[in-house]
Amino acid sequence: MLEQMVSAEKEPNKSARLFARAQELIPGGVNSPVRAFRGVGGTPLFIESAQGPFITDVDGRRYIDYVGSWGPMILGHADPEIVAALQAVAAKGTSFGAPNQLEIELAEEITAAVPSIEMVRMVNSGTEATMSAIRLARGVTSRDKLIKFEGCYHGHADSLLVKAGSGVATLGLPDSPGVPASLAQHTLTVPFNDATAVEDVFKQHDDIAAVIVEPVVGNMGCVPPQEGFLQTLRVLTAQNGALLICDEVMTGFRVARGGAQALYDITPDITCLGKIIGGGLPVGAYGGSRELMRNIAPTGPIYQAGTLSGNPLAMTAGLITLRRLKDETVYAELERRSAQLCDGLSSIAADAGVKTITNRVGSMWTSFFTEAPVTNWETANRSDRELYGKFFHAMLDEGVYLAPSQFEAAFVSIAHTEEIIQQTLTAARNAFQALT
Ligand code: HOZ
């Protein structure tokens, strides 16, 4: 009630006014490009608060949120246990630039859940994690080349900003200016789910340090691996003396407690993590066998460092999140509710005569506005972006916040109850009807 009264007092279109102000000071008015709504048109919402499955904008409108801060909020927003713990920890100091016990505890949780990780180094973002993983792979193999997949996004480090997904795909940018051609030439790209293309590249190059892959792609929308694809990558990398890097920044503790590598039964050499392991605070991590990770400074010569790495706030939010995810019912329940949502969306779209393909792995999903299966960047890119934009805005009008781009995954949290899922489906029915 109080919230409604406060909302009523707010001036309308505060988001639009803040956006105009932000554009004077921040490139595009945003601190990360996809947020600018260029993929869907219109003005981005400025968010005032978030709670459970909801976000509330500065104009007092509340939305069911399927962005979930792009993945970390698997417990829902402002989880009371996390908020209380953060308050207590913050009172004891937010960063020491020196070791603390919480770093060990989070490392213990991660290594227990992901057997391929025996040692882990904390960083502050997914970009740092993948960038450092590549340096490690290049350092130990003494090779420079990488294989990455078209439409996969591994953060904005130079070597990885080649045929990248996410914001790069959303904005339709060619490979970014500022990345030296001499560096980009070391990154070889092939279509996702095309093991033969990977095999061919290995036949042509004997100096490949690593293959880096999002085992379930989230950054061209959700695209699952086809049967045997990841296993073939494992075999090919091992045969050719290259390392397999699984970028599980999005999938780690999301598609299963042990990540996509547990779900698809593969053992990468290096795993990159982020998002969920920070419980909504800035975090990243990379890890692998002890033998491999001992090459990192100070035990080895490969250098990587960070002032805020392992800070007690991020470690606390991550620890609570990972401990809560130990509850065996969590992933089964996420699966059940996500299936309910995605099956519902598919049938509602079909009833409305709108052609969609909904891809889903666990609580990660995307509805593409296309009729053919989406298995790689080429097929994702056939999706009707204009129609997605219309659907996005129709859902926004109905009180549901989806990713402002066709080429991003959506996420269900444990705060998305059955009632919330039903409300979303009712909204979708109205939104699809509005489209037709
Ligand atoms: N590229 C990020 C998702 N794949 C977007 C991050 C953000 O805008 O916050």
Q: Give DSSP secondary structure letters for 346-377.
A: HHHHHHTT---EEEEETTEEEEESSSS---SH
Q: What is the enclosing helix (H) or strand (E) of 119?
A: strand 119-123
Domain with CATH 3.40.640.10 in the chain: 80-324
Q: Is 275 tagged catalytic?
A: yes
* Residue 305 burial by Cβ neighbours in a 10 Å radius (0-12, 13-18, 19+): exposed
Closest Cα to atom 9 of ligand 1: 32
> Does residue 70 line the site of ligand 1, with CB under 6 A?
yes
Taking the domain 14-78+328-435, which CATH number applies? Answer: 3.90.1150.10
pLDDT tens per residue, the chain (436 residues)?
344 434 444 455 999 999 999 999 999 999 999 999 999 999 999 999 999 999 999 999 999 999 999 999 999 999 999 999 999 999 999 999 999 999 999 999 999 999 999 999 999 999 999 999 999 999 999 999 999 999 999 999 888 888 888 888 888 776 788 888 888 899 999 999 999 999 999 999 999 999 999 999 999 999 999 999 999 999 999 999 999 999 999 999 999 999 999 999 999 999 999 999 999 999 999 999 999 999 999 999 999 999 999 999 999 999 999 999 999 899 999 999 999 999 999 999 999 999 999 999 999 999 999 999 999 999 999 999 999 999 999 999 999 999 999 999 999 999 999 999 999 999 999 999 998 8
Report how far ligand 1's centroid is from the alpha carbon of 6 (Å): 30
Report how far ligand 1's centroid is from the alpha carbon of 32 (Å): 6
The best mutation among 32, 130, 222 to test binding of ligand 1, ranked by most ligand atoms within 8 Å of the C-beta, falls on 32
| Atom number in ligand 1 closest to CA 218 | 4
> Does residue 168 line the site of ligand 1, with CB under 6 A?
no
> Does residue 32 line the site of ligand 1, with CB under 6 A?
yes
Q: Which of 66, 153, 286, 401 is catalytic?
A: 153
What gap in Å lies between CA 362 and CA 264, rounded to an integer? 13
Which pTM value belongs to this model? 0.95
Q: How far is CA 232 from CA 87, 195, 224, in A?
A: 47, 7, 15
> Does residue 125 line the site of ligand 1, with CB under 6 A?
no
Domain with CATH 3.90.1150.10 in the chain: 14-78+328-435
Could you count the other beta carbons within 10 Å of the beta carbon of residue 199? Answer: 16
- Residue 92 per-residue DSSP state: T
Closest Cα to atom 3 of ligand 1: 70
Strand, helix or coil at 141? helix
Q: How far apart are the first and last CA of the chain?
A: 36
What type of residue sits at position 90? A
Sign, CA dihedral 209-376-204-238, equals positive
Pairing verdict, β 400-401 and 54-57: unpaired
Which CATH number applies to 80-324: 3.30.390.50, 3.90.550.10, 1.20.140.10, 3.40.640.10? 3.40.640.10
Q: Is 355 tagged catalytic?
A: no
